[in-house]
Amino acid sequence: MIDLHTHTILSDGELLPSELARRAEVKGYRAIGITDHCDWSNIDFVVPHIAKAAASLNRHWKIKVIPGVELTHAPIEEIESLTRFARENGAKIVVAHGETLSEPVIKGTNRRAIECGVNILAHPGNISEEDARLAKEKGVMLEITARKSHNATNKHVADIARKTGAKLVFNTDAHKAENIITKDNAIEVMSSAGLSKEEMEKVFQNSENFIASLLIS
């Protein structure tokens, strides 16, 4: 199990990075991305501290902890500079908080985040076919999420990805201990979104390939 989108007390999560990683390891996770919410108010503090925590944990534990960020409710004009700053300061995963139906995300966020080349567009709501095609072109992965407040459009995301060829990734968007799930739980969520067994295997492989690319680079 690989999860590339989680949160700690560095934003609105409940656990320290070390506890989150430890609980994930016990659940059978092989790698976990810590991607706390950021905009310009906190990115200069959060990203280096996640990177520092990840470096410490990776020296001692089997689970691979990947430092990242989730750019959240930022003005769309700032997404490019925030993405660049995050990567220059240690983020290996840049997630953009997509246009979920459960929050008033600025219209156009999906498109701009894809144009800026983030790694993952999280819970992208009713993403358009045009934007999904651009995601395929840019190599931006679309998220199928286990998070209850965002998962209402999982089936739409799965359908649009199937139609356009955009890559999917499964994440929990975990904020607390009970959000850390098993691979069997992940399969249940993806099955509910209409993904076949073969499609689910590709989703898991997308995460594997992403982690492998980080280790190579």
CA 38 to CA 11: how far, in whole Å? 8
What DSSP assignment string belongs to 134-173? HHHHHTPEEEEE--TTTGGGHHHHHHHHHHH---EEEE--
What are the extents of the domains in the chain? 2-216
101 DSSP 8-state letter? T
Which CATH superfamily hosts domain 2-216? Metal-dependent hydrolases (3.20.20.140)
pLDDT at 215: 73
Q: 108's torsion region: left (phi>0), alpha (psi -120 to 50) or beta? A: left
Q: Which of 114, 97, 115 is nearest to 106 (CA)?
A: 97
Taking the model in full, what pTM does it have? 0.97
pLDDT single digits (tens) 74-130: 999 999 999 999 999 999 999 999 999 999 999 999 999 999 999 999 999 999 999
pLDDT tens digit string along 32-41? 999 999 999 9
In 3-state terms, what secondary structure has residue 189? Answer: helix
